[in-house]
Amino acid sequence: MGNYVGDYAVGSTFYHRFTTVNASGVPTTLGNTPSCEYYVDGGTTAFSGGLSLTVDFNSKTGLNSLQVIATTSCTGIASAKNISVQIAAGTVSAVSVVGYPVIEYSLENRSPLRPATAGRTLLVSSTGYAGIDWNSIGTPGATQSLSATTIFTTTNVTNNVGAVVTAVNTITPARVTAQGIDVGAIVTAINTIAPARVTAQGIDVGAIVTAINTIAPARVTAQGIDVGAIVTAFNTIAPANVTAFSTNIGAVVTASSINIGAIVTACNTVVPANVTAASINIGAVVTASNINIGAVVTAVATTTAVQSGLAHAIWDAAMSGYLNAGSTGEALNAAGGAGDPWITSIPGAYTTGQAGHVLGSIVQAAVTAIQAKTTGLSFTVSGQVDANIQYVNDTQVTGTGASGNEWGPV
């Protein structure tokens, strides 16, 4: 009986080495064209497919190497089979060794635990525990109790989300019902968020409570929107109310000032009044009928001071910015030279028909006519007009005035 060498997967290739010796036990070459064959289970038909024998392996006398390729292309090779291999031909020291058993092996027939894929190994920890593929466990769709298991990271969780409690925060599980959706509150050492609730009646956004401030939950309904109040050590803001009728902006009270909330409706707009140690601003009222600009009262701005300021603002204003047709600014600008008319250029900006334009036109015409006469004068000597005298007291004269050609009547 040959040595059993193990249980192999179909399709495996493995090697086995054995030694042939003579009667004295000395390793001796397996000769006379040796070969091997195998039987399957209790069959009596021998097969040789997939077997390859090398004698004197690696130049060592008597050492033989047998290669076994256990594929289904070889006759009889299949799962759940037992195979025995023996020498089919060959001699040792001229003595036949035909039928000498070499090895026995099985194909997926004896191992109680075998990988689904050939060659795979089972991961076993140092303490003897095997790794688990969740998809390959029995009845993976059944409920698995993990009451004593801590899950470090979860990629996807459906249905009801369980609460997670750590040293950092506490998350209350979300709940979805036919009546509404309660989004779980988050509670940490930093803040507290009350759970939001969504129903057919309205939406309550969870309040945030910390050491810094407290925000009352906002509520949205078909009737209006209440924006939560913010209360801190610095100020208090009363919640704003927004409805189809009006908008009330909450008042702000601080150590510096008091802003009284404005009321905005379809009828009027009231700008909030501001009260501080420096001044009091009374809010303006704006409606479709009128506009009242809020008064300013401070310890500095008395009535006299206001009047003085208005006087300076009016009389020191640049005229160029107030020249609209028919305005007082235009009239004052038109009378700009009334105090000293000789500083006004003519015809200047005067138009046809105005006295300034007529006077300017006459003077300009006279100057033009005189200039037309004086243009023809010649001045050979500076300051002296050149003259050609032909008549004296309506009497024609002749001569050049030179010696021998004196001037005289014709």
Give 244-302 pLDDT, tens digit per residue: 655 666 655 566 666 666 554 555 555 565 656 666 565 655 555 555 555 554 554 45
Does 62 or 362 have the greater pLDDT score?
A: 62
Least confident of 5-14, 64-73, 120-129, 297-306: 297-306
Give residue for tokens 């969780």: 157
**pLDDT, position 137:** 73
Adjacent-strand bridge partners of 402: 405
**pLDDT, position 165:** 47
| CATH code for the structural domain at 3-107 | 2.60.40
CB-based contact 234:254 (threshold 8 Å): yes
The burial of 236, by beta-carbon neighbours within 10 Å (0-12 exposed, 13-18 middle, 19 or more buried), is given as middle
CB-based contact 49:40 (threshold 8 Å): no
Q: In this prediction, what percent of the chain has a pLDDT beyond 90?
A: 26
Strands 101-107 and 3-8, how do they pair? parallel
Q: What is the mean pLDDT of the chain?
A: 76
Q: pLDDT-based confidence at 23, cuts 50/70/90?
A: very high
Mean pLDDT, residues 102-121 taken together: 80
Among residues 198, 240, 233, 195, which one has the least CA distance to residue 214?
Answer: 233
Mean pLDDT, residues 204-216 taken together: 58
CA distance 99 to 85: 9
**pLDDT, position 311:** 84
CA distance 227 to 238: 9
pTM: 0.35
CA distance 314 to 77: 118
CA distance 307 to 301: 10
Q: How many CB atoms lie within 10 A of CB 220?
A: 15
Q: Give me Rg for the CA atoms of the chain.
A: 61
Three-class DSSP category at 98? coil
Mean pLDDT, residues 45-71 taken together: 97
**pLDDT, position 210:** 55
**pLDDT, position 309:** 79
Strands 196-198 and 181-183, how do they pair? antiparallel
CA distance 309 to 296: 13
Among residues 169, 164, 171, 173, which one has the least CA distance to residue 188?
Answer: 169
Interval 165-202: pLDDT, tens = 455 555 566 677 777 676 665 555 555 556 666 677 66
Instruction: Please determine, for residue 208, whether its predicted confidence score (pLDDT) is greater than 70.
Output: no
Q: Which two tokens stand for residue 342?
A: 């000789």
Among residues 55, 15, 49, 5, which one has the least CA distance to residue 34?
Answer: 55
CA distance 407 to 395: 12
